[in-house]
C-alpha cells in the first residue's frame, strides 16, 4: 500500500441546520518523497483535505492513512507550514527554529547547532537574533520552513505558504523550496490556487473543483527537477489544467472573405 | 533631547498647578489653618521628613501595597490563565465575577474591618479587591483571544502543558495582561488610601485623617502631594519593567 492512502474521504459540516459538503469522495495515493500540489479555486476543499491529512480537522467520512495508520491527530512527524507563517512573535528567529527541538527534549547546545544548520539552509544566518516583526514576509516564511525542517519531519504540509507574498518573492521561494527538496527528500503536500506554482513545484498535481469539493483529476508533471517556466512542456501541463478546470474559452472562428 | 523637552513640560505643568494653588490661597477667606499656602505645605513636608513620620507612613503604606497588589496580580493572572484555558469552566464562573466586579472595594470595608479588625489586613484586602477583577478578566479575555494558529503550531510540534502555558499562552497574552496590571496599579493605589482612612492606624491614608483631626491642613495637603508623587513613581517603575519584558519578547519598544 502507498505511503499516504486516502479512501472515500469526505468532510461535511452542519451549518444553520443545513448540511454542507466541503469535501466529497476523495481517493488518493501518495508515495514517499513525492511533491504533491492540491490545486483549485477557493471552496474546492483543498485546505480541508490538507487539514484532514495533517490531522488538524479530521475527515468525517472514509479513511485517511499515513504509513498504514489512520490519522487521528496532528503528529510531530509531520509539520504544517501556514500562509501566515505561524511564527511566535515573542521568540527570536533562532528560538523559533528551536521550538520543535525543545519539545523533543534535545539539549541546549545541540538545539542551537541544529537550528543554525537550518538557518543557513534558508540563508538567514545573519538574522538569528532578529524578531519576526523585523523580517519581510518572504524571510518569515523561510524561518517557518527552517523550523519545520529542523525536526526532520517525514511529511511537510504547506497551506498556501506563499499566498501572502509578492510575485517575485514567491518565485524566489519556489526555487528555494525545490532546491531544499532535492537535498532533504521530504514528502510534501502543498496547497495552492496558483496554477503555475503547482506546475513548477509538483511531481503530481491534484486538481480540485468546488460545490462540493472534489478531485477533478490528477496530473503527472513529467518535468523532474529541471523546470523552466517558459518551456513548451511547462505550458503543455498548464494547458491540461486549464482544460480540467474548464477555463478554456471555446475557440471562436472568424471568417474573413 | 526628547527627555529634556518632556522635563520642560513636567516642570511648567507642576509650576502652574502650584501657582493656581497659591492664587486660590491668596483670594480665599479661609483661615490659614484650614487652607494653607503651598509654602506652608512645603514646610509641613520638611517637618514630616525631619521627624520621621513621613518615612514611617510611607513604609507602612508600601508594605500593604506591595503585599495586596502583588498577591492580587499574581493570583489574578494565574487564575485568569487557567480559566482562559478552560472556557467551559469560565462560563460558570463569569456571572459571579460580573456580579462582584462593579462593587466598589470600599463597600467591603466595614465588613472587612468587622472580620479582621483595624490594622494591615483591611487595607491589604481592599487593594487586593481593587486590582483583582480587572486583572483577572483581562487575563481571561487575553487568553481567549490568542490566535488559533499558535495552538496549532504548538500542537504540531508536540508542545503540551505545562510548557504550553509558559511558552505560548503567557507570552501571547502578555501585552494585554501587562496593560491590565498597569491600569490596576493606579486603582490599587487609589484604594490603598481609602482603605487606610477607615481601617488602619498608620500609613499615608491614616495620616490624612490624623492631620484632619489635629486640624493640620498643611500636613494633610503635603501628604496628598506625597501620595500623588508616589503613585506617579510606581507607575513609572512598572512601565519600565513592562517595557523590559515586552522587549525581551520581541514586542515594539
CA nearest to B181, candidates B96, B83, B69, B106: B69
Contacts of B168 in chain A (CB under 8 A): 88
For B117, the 3-state DSSP assignment is coil
> Do B82 and B22 sit in the same domain of this protein?
no
Q: From the candidates A50, A88, A100, A141, which should be mutated to test the interface with B, based on the most B CB atoms within 10 A? A: A88
Residues of B with CB under 8 A from a CB of A: 149-150, 152-153, 155-160, 163, 167-168, 171-172, 174, 249-252
Predicted pLDDT at B20:
94
Decide if B152 and A56 are in contact by the 8 Å CB cutoff. Answer: yes
Decide if A103 and B158 are in contact by the 8 Å CB cutoff. Answer: yes
Decide if B149 and A91 are in contact by the 8 Å CB cutoff. Answer: no
> Containing domain of residue B238, as a range?
38-248
B105-122 pLDDT tens trace: 889 888 988 988 888 888
CA nearest to B149, candidates A64, A56, A187: A56
What is the distance between the terminal CA atoms of chain A, rounded to a whole angstrom?
61
pLDDT, mean over chain A: 85
Q: From the candidates B155, B157, B175, B242, which should be mutated to test the interface with A, based on the most A CB atoms within 10 A? A: B157
B51-75 pLDDT tens trace: 988 999 999 999 999 999 999 999 9
> Do B201 and B236 sit in the same domain of this protein?
yes
> Do B10 and B133 sit in the same domain of this protein?
no
Contacts of A133 in chain B (CB under 8 A): 250, 252
Decide if B149 and A74 are in contact by the 8 Å CB cutoff. Answer: no
Residue B63 to residues A2, B55, B237, B239: CA-CA distances in angstroms?
69, 12, 16, 20
- Beta strands in A17-114, from DSSP E residues, in sequence order: 18-30, 35-39, 61-66, 69-70, 78-81
> Do B3 and B87 sit in the same domain of this protein?
no
Q: How confident is the model at residue B46 (pLDDT cuts 50, 70, 90)?
A: very high
Decide: A39 and A67 in contact? Cβ < 8 Å: no
> Do B75 and B3 sit in the same domain of this protein?
no
Predicted pLDDT at B19:
94
Q: Average of pLDDT values for B229-251? A: 86
- Asked if residue B196 belongs to a domain, the reply is yes
Decide if A90 and B172 are in contact by the 8 Å CB cutoff. Answer: yes
ipTM of the complex: 0.83
Contacts of B251 in chain A (CB under 8 A): 89-90
Predicted pLDDT at A226:
64
pLDDT reading at B135 higher than 90: yes
For A104, the 3-state DSSP assignment is coil
Q: How confident is the model at residue A177 (pLDDT cuts 50, 70, 90)?
A: confident
> Do B165 and B239 sit in the same domain of this protein?
yes
Q: How confident is the model at residue B161 (pLDDT cuts 50, 70, 90)?
A: confident
> Do B187 and B238 sit in the same domain of this protein?
yes
- Asked if residue B253 belongs to a domain, the reply is no
Predicted pLDDT at A248:
62
Q: Average of pLDDT values for B5-16? A: 86
Residue with the bigger pLDDT between A227 and B38: it is: B38
pLDDT reading at B97 higher than 90: yes
pLDDT reading at A230 higher than 80: no
Instruction: Identify any residues that bridge with A14 across adjacent strands, giving them in sequence order.
Output: A19
Q: In what order do the strands lie in the sheet with A155-159?
A: A78-81, A155-159, A187-192, A35-39, A204-209, A214-220
pLDDT reading at B2 higher than 70: no
- Phi/psi for A96 (5° steps) reads -65, -40
Give A236→chain B minimum CA distance, Å.
38
Q: Cell numbers for A153, please give them.
A: 519531519
A3-16 pLDDT tens trace: 889 888 888 888 88
> Do B13 and B43 sit in the same domain of this protein?
no
H-helix segments, B28-108:
38-51, 53-85, 87-100
> Do B238 and B122 sit in the same domain of this protein?
yes
pLDDT, mean over chain B: 90
Give residue for cell 488559533. B148
DSSP B160: -
Which CATH number do you get for residue B45? 1.10.3720.10
Predicted pLDDT at B253:
42
CB contact, 8 Å: A154 with chain B?
Answer: no
pLDDT reading at B77 higher than 60: yes
Closest residue on chain B to A92 (Cα): B250
Q: Which helix (H) or strand (E) holds B39?
A: helix B38-51
Residue with the bigger pLDDT between A256 and A173: it is: A173
Q: Average of pLDDT values for A204-212? A: 87
> Do B208 and B83 sit in the same domain of this protein?
yes
Predicted pLDDT at B15:
92
- Asked if residue B218 belongs to a domain, the reply is yes
Q: Average of pLDDT values for B123-147? A: 94
Counting the structural domains of chain B, the total is 2
As a whole number of Å, the CA-based R_g of chain B is 22
Residue with the bigger pLDDT between A254 and B232: it is: B232
Say whether pTM exceeds 0.95. Answer: no
A89-146 pLDDT tens trace: 999 999 999 998 888 888 889 899 999 998 988 888 899 888 998 898 889 998 999 9
> Do B129 and B170 sit in the same domain of this protein?
yes
> Do B15 and B121 sit in the same domain of this protein?
no
Longest dimension (CA), chain A: 81
Q: How many CB atoms lie within 10 A of CB A7?
A: 15
A23-67 pLDDT tens trace: 888 888 988 888 999 998 888 888 888 988 998 888 888 888 888
Amino acid at each position: 500500500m502507498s505511503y499516504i492512502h486516502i479512501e472515500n474521504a469526505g468532510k461535511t459540516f452542519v451549518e444553520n441546520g443545513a448540511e454542507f459538503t466541503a469535501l466529497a469522495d476523495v481517493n488518493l495515493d501518495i508515495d514517499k518523497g513525492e511533491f504533491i500540489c492540491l490545486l483549485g479555486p477557493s471552496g474546492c476543499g483543498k485546505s480541508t483535505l490538507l487539514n484532514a491529512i495533517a490531522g488538524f480537522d479530521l475527515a468525517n467520512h472514509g479513511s485517511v492513512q499515513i504509513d498504514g495508520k489512520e490519522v487521528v491527530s496532528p503528529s510531530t512527524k509531520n509539520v504544517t507550514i501556514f500562509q501566515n507563517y505561524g511564527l511566535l512573535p515573542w521568540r527570536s528567529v533562532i528560538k523559533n527554529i528551536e521550538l520543535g527541538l525543545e519539545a523533543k527534549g534535545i539539549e541546549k547546545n545541540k538545539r542551537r547547532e541544529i537550528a543554525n544548520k537550518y538557518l543557513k539552509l534558508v540563508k538567514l544566518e545573519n538574522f538569528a537574533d532578529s524578531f519576526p516583526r523585523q523580517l519581510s514576509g518572504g524571510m518569515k516564511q523561510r524561518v517557518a520552513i527552517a523550523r519545520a525542517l529542523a525536526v526532520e519531519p517525514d511529511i511537510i504540509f504547506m497551506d498556501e505558504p506563499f499566498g501572502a507574498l509578492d510575485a517575485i518573492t514567491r518565485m524566489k521561494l519556489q526555487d528555494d523550496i525545490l532546491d531544499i527538496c532535492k537535498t532533504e527528500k521530504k514528502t510534501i503536500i502543498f496547497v495552492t490556487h496558483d496554477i503555475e506554482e503547482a506546475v513548477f513545484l509538483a511531481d503530481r498535481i491534484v486538481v480540485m473543483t468546488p460545490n462540493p469539493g472534489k478531485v477533478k483529476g490528477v496530473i503527472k508533471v513529467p518535468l523532474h527537477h529541471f523546470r523552466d517556466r517558459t518551456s513548451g512542456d511547462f505550458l503543455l501541463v498548464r494547458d491540461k489544467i486549464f482544460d480540467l478546470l474548464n477555463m478554456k474559452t471555446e475557440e471562436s472562428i472568424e471568417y474573413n472573405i | 533631547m526628547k527627555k529634556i523637552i518632556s522635563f520642560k513640560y513636567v516642570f511648567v505643568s507642576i509650576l502652574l498647578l502650584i501657582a493656581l494653588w497659591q492664587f486660590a490661597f491668596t483670594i480665599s477667606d479661609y483661615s490659614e489653618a484650614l487652607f494653607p499656602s503651598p509654602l506652608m505645605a512645603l514646610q509641613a513636608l520638611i517637618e514630616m521628613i525631619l521627624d520621621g513620620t513621613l518615612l514611617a507612613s510611607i513604609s507602612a503604606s508600601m508594605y500593604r501595597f506591595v503585599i495586596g497588589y502583588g498577591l492580587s496580580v499574581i493570583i489574578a493572572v494565574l487564575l485568569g490563565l487557567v480559566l482562559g484555558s478552560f472556557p467551559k469552566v469560565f462560563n460558570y464562573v463569569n456571572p459571579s465575577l460580573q456580579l462582584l466586579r462593579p462593587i466598589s472595594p470600599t463597600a467591603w470595608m466595614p465588613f472587612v474591618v468587622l472580620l479582621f479588625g483595624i490594622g494591615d489586613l483591611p487595607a491589604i484586602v481592599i487593594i487586593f479587591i481593587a486590582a483583582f477583577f480587572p486583572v483577572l478578566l483581562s487575563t481571561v479575555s487575553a487568553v481567549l483571544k490568542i490566535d488559533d494558529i499558535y495552538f496549532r503550531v504548538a500542537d504540531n510540534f508536540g508542545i503540551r502543558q505545562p510548557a504550553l502555558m509558559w511558552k505560548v499562552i503567557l507570552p501571547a497574552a502578555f501585552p494585554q495582561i501587562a496593560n491590565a496590571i498597569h491600569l490596576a496599579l493606579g486603582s490599587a493605589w487609589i484604594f490603598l488610601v481609602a482603605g487606610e482612612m477607615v481601617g488602619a492606624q498608620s500609613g499615608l491614608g491614616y495620616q490624612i485623617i490624623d492631620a484632619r483631626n489635629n486640624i493640620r491642613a498643611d500636613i494633610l495637603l503635603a501628604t496628598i502631594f506625597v501620595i500623588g508623587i508616589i503613585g506617579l513613581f510606581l507607575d513609572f517603575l512598572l512601565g519600565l519593567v513592562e517595557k523590559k519584558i515586552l522587549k525581551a519578547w520581541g514586542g515594539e519598544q
